[in-house]
Structure 1
């Protein structure tokens, strides 16, 4: 029986979301026939093994956690944000020569960086919202003449994201984003339907896209609406063949351009002129109620089967 280590938690604002995803994935792995061990990173950076603290400091506990990783057939990280989704855990697994389920170092690092992701998208002909990149030290000099969205360059679950409609709201929005990252994006508002597409790299290197999912929310799909139940997901989204082809094609191209593996979620705005990329999630939310499992369910792939296929791809040694 293959032994899979699931890593959850982390030091980012998405700690609780990561723990919920780790719970779901561990249960799905066991249902799929794997032996599962759990490593959890506390909010202060200390590691635990199956709920037991390994040491009182991050460095000492990491030293012992590496011993747990060394005995794994594969590692499934579900740590969002810095220290996880940004490629850090993939790098740790690469140094330990343990297969990682999901994207490797480069894809995680670039996908986490919204500015770098924009540059990749534009290089391959995928539209993004016009944006300005600013440093936290310069926010006192920033002005705007239209509605904008302010967001930290590297943060997830819409933490630090604000829709600014009036000029006197801008400084507060910039300071809120700066709590999460010194680098801040100021984007022009894109009017369109919010559509997600999940992509899986299967065994044999074959990658394919799920039926798109549409997010119905009252206003901005922000941190609150993501987790308070007010947003509604429609999958498959009601789309023309042309729009569906454009969305899935763009999702596959972004997946390939970033060098993703495992599962990634590609988020778009669908406008009258076609898809506009919002962001790429190389470590998307993975509770049974999250967008990605819902999209695969619409494609006839159950949650345990999805996880089994993700692990099979990693064990096969598909390049990441």
Structure 2
């Protein structure tokens, strides 16, 4: 009997358009002989099922069901394709846990922790995970530009603490640029993190639960045409994403070991994609994404393809692993 799969997409953040693309790729890729897939759009003002004719049917939030095809549809599993809030920060994970509906991403605590860059880095530091020097600010804090420069140096990165797709990120070269960069980050979040610039090779490492095992996918080297791996570099072709990465066997072994350790220390499951920069021959963690892009051009599917895993296999496995757990 075919399983009913809700592919949730959209969300409440600036990443909603990217999420819609990812969700539609998942919907179109899932095996129609095995699954009844439904596109579910999650927005602040509405949760709706959108059919192939763009008709909208409301979602009953009491049990996450819909009325369609003259009947009530209950879902066997949720495929989470929401980048940012509420799909990547723990809210949807907690909701589905309460409803006892399996979902493809990590659990609530892991989602909330990894979405908060500051808390993530603090949690991993005792395990020997190397990171950039950082300085924290909350909205309303006094901004001491001299103290910031003394702590992290110049150039530095000013980032929204809880945001993705490089929204709210600026690279700052002069102390006089800090104020505008900080204001830009506060547009995305009320917490920001200011980090030391690490000048080295950047790589992206996909780690997933595949057929019951923690699997590190082939590594991608990021070569941005822009000043850093910003929105245009990620989504408008302004970068080279080279898989497998052009790094030494020693660097490959080190970053694979660290990425797998991060995944397992955090008790992750489902998809993850973490970013590292090599400094002094050691990988330094930048961030962990738990709902990475899932389009044909996205990094994680490219890595899966390099490992001989098709998009259909990748998505099918995510559902199988979720329902097994």
1:93 corresponds, among 91, 96, 102, to 96
Summarize the Cα distance change of 1:62–1:150 in structure 2 as closer, same or farther, 3 Å threshold. Answer: farther
Partner of 2:200: 192
Partner of 1:308: 316
Q: For residue 236 of structure 1, report the CA deviation from its aligned partner.
A: 0.5
Q: Distance in 2 between matches of 1:5 and 1:63?
A: 13
1:141 corresponds, among 121, 129, 144, to 144
Partner of 1:182: 190
Superposition map of 1:220-235 within 5 A: 220-235=228-243
Partner of 2:65: 67
Q: For residue 272 of structure 1, report the CA deviation from its aligned partner.
A: 2.8
Q: Distance in 2 between matches of 1:105 and 1:96?
A: 13
Q: Deviations over 1:177-215 (max 9, x none)?
A: 0011111101111111110111111233x1110110011
Q: Distance in 1 between matches of 2:209 and 2:112?
A: 18
Superposition map of 1:1-320 within 5 A: 1-30=2-31, 33-42=34-43, 44-50=44-50, 51-54=54-57, 63=61, 66-68=64-66, 71-143=74-146, 144-145=148-149, 146-204=154-212, 206-218=213-225, 219-317=227-325
Q: SS at the partner of 2:286?
A: strand
Q: SS at the partner of 1:123?
A: helix
Q: For residue 139 of structure 1, report the CA deviation from its aligned partner.
A: 4.8
Could you tell which deviates more after superposition, 207-216 or 253-262?
253-262
Q: For residue 70 of structure 1, report the CA deviation from its aligned partner.
A: 7.3
Conservation of the 8 A alpha-carbon contact between 1:194 and 1:214? yes
Q: Distance in 2 between matches of 1:180 and 1:273?
A: 33
Normalising by the residue count of structure 1, what TM-score does the alignment of the two structures yield? 0.92
Higher strand share: 2
Conservation of the 8 A alpha-carbon contact between 1:5 and 1:38? yes
Stretches of structure 1 that go unaligned for 5 or more consecutive residues are: 56-60
**Runs (4+) off by over 6 Å:** none
Q: Deviations over 1:194-239 (max 9, x none)?
A: 10111111233x1110110011102211112211111111000112
Stretches of structure 2 that go unaligned for 5 or more consecutive residues are: 67-71
Summarize the Cα distance change of 1:98–1:15 in structure 2 as closer, same or farther, 3 Å threshold. Answer: same
Q: SS at the partner of 2:79?
A: strand
